[in-house]
Amino acid sequence: MAKSPANHGREWTRDAERQMKQLVKENTPTRVMALKLGRTPAAIYNKAQELGISLKPTNQRPRGKRR
């Protein structure tokens, strides 16, 4: 059976929320954020939605646009 993340089932702290917002600003992938925060990727998606944060990458070219 898979091992649970360190913060599984625990409440989010303000510090963890701040850290998540900073990671989003740095365009960190969701899986990496989950590892750094000790949460699952699903928990990251849910908290981002709750806080009104977009997890879409900001540094990618639009589809179909080649140089």
| Model confidence, pTM | 0.79
The number of beta carbons lying within 10 Å of the beta carbon of residue 41 is: 16
DSSP-derived letter for residue 38 is T
User: Tens of pLDDT along 2-36?
Assistant: 788 888 889 999 999 999 999 999 989 999 999 99
Q: What type of residue sits at position 21?
A: K
Of 58 and 66, the one with more pLDDT? 58
Query: What pLDDT was estimated at residue 36?
Result: 94
Task: Please give the Cα distance from 8 to 24 (Å, whole number).
Answer: 21
Pairwise CA distance, residues 60 & 38, whole Å: 27
- Asked whether residue 64 carries a pLDDT value surpassing 70, the answer given is no
**pLDDT of 63 over the 70 cut:** no
In this predicted structure, the answer to whether residue 65 has a pLDDT above a threshold of 90 is no
3-class state of residue 34 by DSSP: helix
